[in-house]
Structure 1
């Protein structure tokens, strides 16, 4: 019986050509399909958000007490509450609410259009451009929502000073400082909470989409 040479066997095994499990075309199709699915998830999340805020807006419209908490703050500052004041404040909330729904609806449409343009058999370079465009749309959506919050807060601050001036109310330095500090702290907390929400909801999907994008770029660089 011939003597078994382990070293020779290992050398022969190592020298055998290793066949790749998938070729570039198969990998490309899988990455394209995954990317399309990630975009679909973001689209449906945005649809749910749109429906949620629409229902919430209708609920507050029926309740008609959305501005009560802010009115309480104004009353503590010495502002006299009347029907005209309540109507103006309700109009501010209504405008911001409608603007928010319009913006969200616009981005839902953009997400859907971007998703529909993605084709698995599409040219690789064009597909990469589609993904980059989609990422920019998501980032614009997040920043726009933060911008809407800042617009609402700015409108409320402007409205506060307008009412104080109209009713000839002068705040002492401590009350004025407390008001400004409260607004700034509330704004920062709201922006942080919104950012955390979008990072958790969209960030996980976007990180996987980024991973796919990098792999697609690598395949594209090998093909050139």
Structure 2
């Protein structure tokens, strides 16, 4: 139970233990908590981008019998500017929240942050789906003799099986990544939503 919940519980009791807080005190508390949450979202995005760049740079050096399409590497590098844009938006949201001085502005900043996080997660899930599909296709074809052998001998049944394998694998991998995002960003957004609901009460 956080500090705000303890104070709210005390207000409902007959014998107050904590000092009564004013409107400004509650606002400052919610403001500080919201700023901290958005700051962590920004930090996590930096870590994620750093890991992504590291894997992209290391990947070409890894020897593998599987031949991935050249456009996969292009897509990896092409996605970096978009992630940088999201990082900028996270940082901008953080700076906006730390400098806002009224409830309405703070509420709007929280709404923008929630929306940015949702778009960021959606963008990464789409990328994960693309990479998962290609990885599954390449791996399946390699196991079955390589592209030349597979394409020369495959019929409708083989392609149907390949399609099912790609769909199942892509859904599974994307679901795992979504679960990771839900644990990381979902927890932060849940706390941010809690602050948002408390601020809406102050606005009344």
Output the TM-score relative to the length of structure 2: 0.78
2:26 corresponds to 1:43: no
Deviation at 1:113, TM superposition (A): 1.1
* CA displacement, residues 93-141 of structure 1 (integer Å, 9 cap, x when unaligned): 2112112322222211110111111135512111100110010000000
Q: Residue 190 and residue 156 in structure 1: after superposition, are their counterparts in 2 closer, same or farther (change >3 A)?
A: closer
Q: Is the 8 A contact 1:164 1:170 kept in 2?
A: no
2:58 corresponds to 1:104: no
Matches within 5 A, 1:45-60: 45-60=44-59
Q: Is the 8 A contact 1:96 1:152 kept in 2?
A: no
Deviation at 1:45, TM superposition (A): 0.4
Aligned residues: 185
Matches within 5 A, 1:56-135: 56-65=55-64, 68=65, 71=66, 86=67, 89-119=68-98, 122-135=101-114
Q: 2:198 aligns with which of 202, 215, 218?
A: 215
- Which residue is equivalent to 2:5? none
Q: Which runs of 5+ in 2 are unaligned?
A: 1-13, 141-145
Alpha-carbon RMSD: 3.1
Give, in whole Å, the separation in 1 of the partners of 2:117 and 2:16: 44
Deviation at 1:154, TM superposition (A): 6.0
Question: Which range is displaced more, 39-48 or 105-114?
Answer: 105-114
Q: Is the 8 A contact 2:114 2:189 kept in 1?
A: yes
Q: Which runs of 5+ in 1 are unaligned?
A: 1-13, 72-85
Q: Is the 8 A contact 1:40 1:115 kept in 2?
A: yes
- Which residue is equivalent to 1:23? 22
